[in-house]
Amino acid sequence: MAGRGGNAALASLGAVALRDRLASGALRAAELVDACLAQVEAREAEIGAWAFIDPAQARAEAARLDGLRASGRPIGPLHGLPVGIKDIIDTAAMPTENGAAFDKGRRPTEDAWAVARLRAAGALILGKTTTTELAFLEPSKTRNPVNPAHTPGGSSAGSAAAVAAGMAPLAVGTQTGGSVIRPAAYCGVVGFKPSFGAIGRSGVLTQSPTLDTVGVFAADLTGAALLADALFGHDPGDPATAPAAPPRLLETALSDAPVTPAFAFVRPPEWALADADTQDAFAELAALLGDACDSVDLPAPFAEAAPLRETINAAEMAKCYHRYAARGRATLSPTLTAFIERGEATLAKDYLAALDWRAVLNAGLDQIWRRYDAILTPATPTPAPEGFASTGPAIFNGLWTFCGTPAVTLPLLEAGNGMPIGVQLVGRRGDDARLLRTARWLTTRLAAQAEG
């Protein structure tokens, strides 16, 4: 095993650099897994990012992958890269317990579609990352690696924390409100929630079929693009997906923008919830972008988006989680129980009317896409709150989940207390590759100005 300094050096490399070293033979999968496991050993007691991890199993899989490469047979685009999988995504070789007491000890017989895609691409499934109870709001055991006195967010808390702590270069999560973007922003990593229907959900716990979206975490933008590239595709078991040509996310993200991107700085309807650090940081960022950024107001109907999304989420949760409620509500958290009961009380006319609003809101966004490449907006109202009473508000994320648009958060800003402030970029639905290219342009621009 590499020394502690070597582990830290490997952990600091981006996934694309690791991929290239693994493909060339300059790095063995066994060495990388050992480095990741050393980080787990060093920080897991403090952070609690994993619901399940078996070092012996991980090392055996690394040895198999090293043998495959040594044989001269073809290797996949993620060959040897360790990936953490949120514990609501089925894995045949590991438990999937959904953060729920009822599912303790549950072992699926098949991999989820997304996990099967990862294995086919040569990824090494390192373990299962923590989730909040049934991917809702009850906090998990996980702590924020930047400062363990602060929440890591949720519900994909373990995925964000594992990447932030260098325990895994890549991880997979899900978002129904803000469960990818929020924890990524809080923990200071890149989180990418693609367009609705981009990644198949067969074998993933269903909370809200209209909203549930699989997303990814990485230390940098190109790592997120690399992982998402392997996951985009048609899942016959998920009607939200459709046959389509590969989007070439990484290739596009690495390409130069043909012109300087135009950004629409949007203050969401709940802008008053943003603290002074966040408001000041985004005012400075917009000013720094100069003519490339305009302040843009969302049309008035967007003020209704948050309660409409909650209506859909509650109604569909009441249906999808009926089996849990029927088996004993006393074992569920009061927060989850109350939301299920809200869904049970939702009238059909209100639910159906809420569904109609996605088209209305996207029509309003079309006015922005005619002129701008991306919306620039905070990922969260504040940096990660101190304490663990909640996972923090998802109010700056739910709108984009409702609309089905792609969103990415970039760890580009910092609060006065040293906690990360995520810069969220939002793109047109289906235009994921262009969004990632724009995000890379922004990252590169800010890095150049910081060096200058």
The answer to whether the pTM exceeds 0.85 is yes
Say what angle helices 221-231 and 15-24 make with each other, to 10 degrees.
Answer: 70
Question: pLDDT-based confidence at 451, cuts 50/70/90?
Answer: confident
> Which residues share a beta bridge with 375?
264, 426
Q: What is the mean pLDDT of the chain?
A: 96
Per-residue model confidence as pLDDT tens digits over 364-402: 999 999 999 999 999 999 999 999 999 999 999 999 999
Structure token pair of residue 178: 């803000």
User: Residue 445 above 60 pLDDT?
Assistant: yes
**What pLDDT does 31 receive?**
97
- Residue at 45: amino acid letter: A
Per-residue model confidence as pLDDT tens digits over 159-195: 999 999 999 999 999 999 999 999 999 999 999 999 9
Q: What does the alpha-carbon distance between residue 22 and residue 8 come to, in Å, rounded to a whole number? A: 17
> What's the gap between Cα 31 and its chain centre?
26
Q: Residue 106 has what DSSP assignment?
A: -
Fold of 1-299+358-452: Amidase signature (AS) enzymes (3.90.1300)
Q: Residue 404 has what DSSP assignment?
A: T
167: nearest Cα among 128, 121, 215: 128
Domain parsing of the chain, residue ranges? 1-299+358-452
CB of 218 within 8 A of CB of 189? yes
Active site residues: 86, 155, 179
User: Residue 4 above 50 pLDDT?
Assistant: no
Taking the CB of residue 415, how many other CB atoms lie within 10 A of it? Answer: 17
CB of 152 within 8 A of CB of 424? no
User: Residue 1 above 50 pLDDT?
Assistant: no
Helices (H), ranges, 169-275: 181-187, 221-231, 249-254
CB of 253 within 8 A of CB of 436? yes
User: Residue 363 above 70 pLDDT?
Assistant: yes
374: nearest Cα among 445, 446, 258, 294: 294
- Strand bridging mode 293-296 / 374-378: unpaired
**What pLDDT does 384 receive?**
98
What lies within 8 Å, CB to CB, of 8 at 6+ separation is 39, 166
For 50-186, list the strands marked E by DSSP.
50-53, 82-86, 124-129, 170-175
Share of the chain above pLDDT 90, in %: 94
